[in-house]
Amino acid sequence: MALLERAEYRRCDKGEDLEDIYRLRYKSYRLSDMVSESPDHSIHDELDEAPNCYKFGIYVDGVLVSTLRIHHACAATPQSPSTTVYGDILRPMMAKRLSFVDPSRFAADPDWSRVYPQIPYLTLRLAGMACFHFEAPYCLSTIREEHAGFYRRIYCSEQIGELRNYPGLNYPVVLYRADVNAIRERSFARFPFFKSTPMEQRLMFGKQGQGELAPLTILPTAKYFLDAA
């Protein structure tokens, strides 16, 4: 919660902020050989341009420390990393009017991660906010098998897809799904810094009206729940 007080979120759609998060992805992934070398030291793909894609930078004291990409996948806009690899599992669910929040491209600056081990929590807080804003019943995670314990512990996730290859990554992935009601009832009780107000959610994921400027930065609102308690 103390680090959250010093944090801010930025939705990155163009300009230097967007280039910075693409370069951060590369820096983070190359350190663990998750991707092959690229001459431009940048990672992006066609899913970054999808209409249901939201890209964020997370800053502490004005310094970019991590990034996350989120897709809201439904029958009208099914594009997402998980549906790319597990479409046979997920598209029939979407045909039944289910929708999913699909976070991906999590990357943390390795230098700052040693200083702030809380960065994964600070970053993945966005996934819960997206679930509530879009009223999605499930949150997906297409992840390395060895990372599954984190998602089971934090989000009560369950595996619904077997090991498969993901385009561009040097390792196979598995598909996990978290029930949003479990996030609300169990994860919030254990980790109150995940909480957010509807206003923060709207600033993160809402569309601006005609003539309305997008916010440059968005400050976390979890402290208001703590103050109220």
Q: Where are the domains of the chain?
A: 4-220
Nearest one of 140, 135, 83 to 106, comparing CA atoms? 140
Give the DSSP per-residue string, 35-101: S---TT-----GGGGSTTEEEEEEEETTEEEEEEEEEEE-SSS--SHHHHHHHHHHHHHHHTT--EE
Location of structure tokens 């806009």: 77
Give pLDDT, residue 210: 53
C-alpha dihedral sign at 59, 60, 66, 69: negative
Nearest one of 142, 165, 3, 157 to 69, comparing CA atoms? 142
pLDDT (tens place) for every residue of the chain, 229 residues total? 888 889 999 999 888 999 999 999 999 999 888 888 988 999 999 999 999 999 999 999 999 999 999 999 999 999 999 999 999 999 999 999 999 999 999 999 999 999 999 999 899 999 999 999 999 999 999 999 999 998 998 888 999 999 999 998 999 999 999 999 887 877 777 778 888 889 989 999 987 655 455 556 777 766 655 554 4
Q: Are 9 and 204 in contact (CB under 8 A)?
A: yes
Nearest one of 68, 53, 54, 64 to 8, comparing CA atoms? 64
According to CATH, the topology of domain 4-220 is: Aminopeptidase (3.40.630)
Above pLDDT 70, what percent of the chain? Answer: 92
Element (H, E) at 163: strand 158-165
Strand partners, 59: 8, 64
Give pLDDT, residue 189: 78
Give pLDDT, residue 100: 97
Give pLDDT, residue 229: 46
pLDDT in tens, 36-92: 898 899 999 999 999 999 999 999 999 999 999 999 999 999 999 999 999 999 999
Phi, psi torsion values for 121, nearest 5 degrees = -70, -45
Q: Are 27 and 112 in contact (CB under 8 A)?
A: no
The predicted model scores a pTM of 0.89
Strand order in the sheet with 138-143: 7-11, 53-60, 63-73, 100-108, 138-143, 172-179, 158-165
Nearest one of 101, 3, 100 to 58, comparing CA atoms? 3
